[in-house]
Chains A and B, each alone.
Chain A
Amino acid sequence: MEASRDDFVIAIRSAFLKKGNKQRFSLIFLIIFSIIFLALGKLNFKAIDYIKISINEIVYRSAFIASLPENYIQKGYNTAINHFNIYNDYNKIKSENQKLKSEKISNNFIVHENKRLKKIVDDYVTISDVVVAKVLIDKKSPFLRSIIINKGSKDNVKLGMAVIDGIYLAGKVVEVNFTTARILLLSDLNSKIPVTIEPVGLQSILSGTGKNDGKIQYLKEEYKIENESSVYTSGSGGIFKAGIPIGKIKNIPGVEIGVDFFSDFTQLKFVKIVSFQKEEN
């Protein structure tokens, strides 16, 4: 019994403490080094931030090149799927277009009226900075939903700026390097955005599910929300302006109040990075 315990200790010691064949470092040294990295990162040690930013700059560019073959496969796969769905999509789009044309006429009037009223209550905000960025890396990791764009602090991208796909909100900037930035998508588990649910006007928080959808959180059970209700940014917190369309309430298995995003985060190629400010009278 004593001998087998000794063998175990010797094997462990040999595995972790001794340098392996043709190895420059021992395992234990590098493991301790990793732990130090983690601890300093947790303590927001400046040197770690600088190392991270330097590695980010190199890695994001290299990852873009390394992703090219996989992107070609992905593109081919998506093209094939699109071809199969093309006729159904055409019919759907045709009927939607008819509906939208008629809605647009009445909407124009409402938009102008809304602008006028918001100016009266001093809540009219305009987009102050717009940066158009290309998506460099879109990893679709099962754990984190984020993308890397090719614009950074050099192009006046700042932490917390809104990321817009067309007219829909896609996420916000959570990390800024010199020439690149990381966007946390709305579908990420760690994303939390204050929203308004219309037409009822309920205020709530939208969180990601970690898949391609979102969920409404922190809402009292007594409130009833109908399917197909629209979700917009509420403007609370002052980061985003109120009324940016996000998605529609939808039944999603396993989610109490699910949100189907208007923007398809799997197809992002270019996005707008914007910040908002109140219009000067």
Chain B
Amino acid sequence: MEQFAKNTIFKSLLKYAPIALLFISVLNEFDFNYLELKYFSFNFPFILIFYWSLKKSESLGYGLIFIAGLINDVVVGFPMGISSLSYLLICGFTAYLRNITLRPNMLQDWLFFLLTIVFASSLSYSLLVLFFSFKLNYADLLVNLLFTFLFYGIFAYLFQIYNKLAFEKKDD
């Protein structure tokens, strides 16, 4: 009985891991920028939100994603609402992809991810430049998008393993 209770608590903790990781990554900007590698940066929240809202939408609540976006804006110093908007747009794109997909395919997801981040980033950075007079380095932005796109493959593979371990039921 005790073992059963422990398992249940552990399982429910595993369920909240994606949202916990999202909050840690926006508070901590998990992107290896401290390595000071020239032109290297990527947007981990984009990968995380896209994968989990596509594969297991109930693991990330839209309300919590909205709050994570507000926190990201505060940490990075952007006007409030801009990251929330891009995160929610990613959720919208994944919900659309889920609706039209009968047979999930990794390559198709990956290409759709590129389309999604290009759209979400273009919109948010256009708003920043046009309405909030921010100066941005477009080369950095493009490289950031490229690395985010490339890293999706690696993280999607890791998340897939986690998804299998944490969420799929075992037949006893």
Contact = CB atoms under 8 A, between A and B. Distances in A.
Interface of A: 7, 10-12, 14-16, 20-27, 30-31, 33-38, 41-42, 48, 51-52, 55-56, 59-60, 62-63, 66-67, 69-70, 73-74, 77, 137, 139-144, 146, 175, 182, 189-190, 210, 212, 266
A13 B5 CA distance: 41
A7 B27 contact: no
Given A33-B66, A55-B71, A142 B84 contact: no
Contacts of B57: 20-21, 23
B34 A16 contact: no
B80 A139 contact: no
Contacts, number: 151
A31 B89 contact: yes
Given A55-B74, A66-B27, A15 B63 contact: no
B88 A27 contact: yes
Nearest to B29: A139
Interface string B67-82: 0011100111111111
B150 interface: no
B81 A41 contact: yes
B77 A146 contact: yes
Contacts of A146: 77
A27 B80 contact: no
A59 B27 contact: yes
B150 to A, nearest CB: 16
B156 interface: no
B84 A141 contact: no
Interface string B26-41: 0111100111100001
A41 B95 contact: no
A41 B24 contact: no
B58 interface: yes
A52 B131 CA distance: 19
A16 B75 CA distance: 28
Interface of B: 24, 27-30, 33-36, 41, 57-58, 61-63, 65-66, 69-71, 74-82, 84-85, 88-89, 91-93, 95-96, 98-100, 127, 131-132, 134-137, 140-141, 144
Contacts of A143: 76, 136-137, 140-141
A38 B74 contact: no
B92 A15 contact: yes
Q: Which of A26, A36, A62 has the most CB atoms of chain B within a 10 A radius of its CB? A: A62
B85 to A, nearest CB: 4
Given A140-B33, A143-B76, A27 B95 contact: yes
A212 B29 CA distance: 19
A27 B91 contact: yes
B128 to A, nearest CB: 9
B140 A210 contact: yes
A207 to B, nearest CB: 9
B89 A20 contact: no
Q: Which of B27, B29, B30, B81 has the most CB atoms of chain A within a 10 A radius of its CB? A: B81
B33 A27 contact: no
Q: Which of B35, B79, B93 has the most CB atoms of chain A within a 10 A radius of its CB? A: B79
Given A38-B81, A55-B74, A141 B63 contact: no
B96 A15 contact: yes
A55 B81 contact: no
* Smallest CB-CB A-B distances: 5 pairs: A37-B81, A15-B95, A66-B27, A38-B81, A34-B85
A37 B78 CA distance: 12
Given A27-B92, A142-B137, A190-B135, 18 more contacts: A22-B61, A27-B95, A30-B62, A30-B65, A30-B84, A38-B85, A38-B127, A38-B131, A59-B27, A59-B71, A66-B27, A73-B34, A77-B34, A139-B33, A140-B33, A143-B137, A146-B77, A190-B134
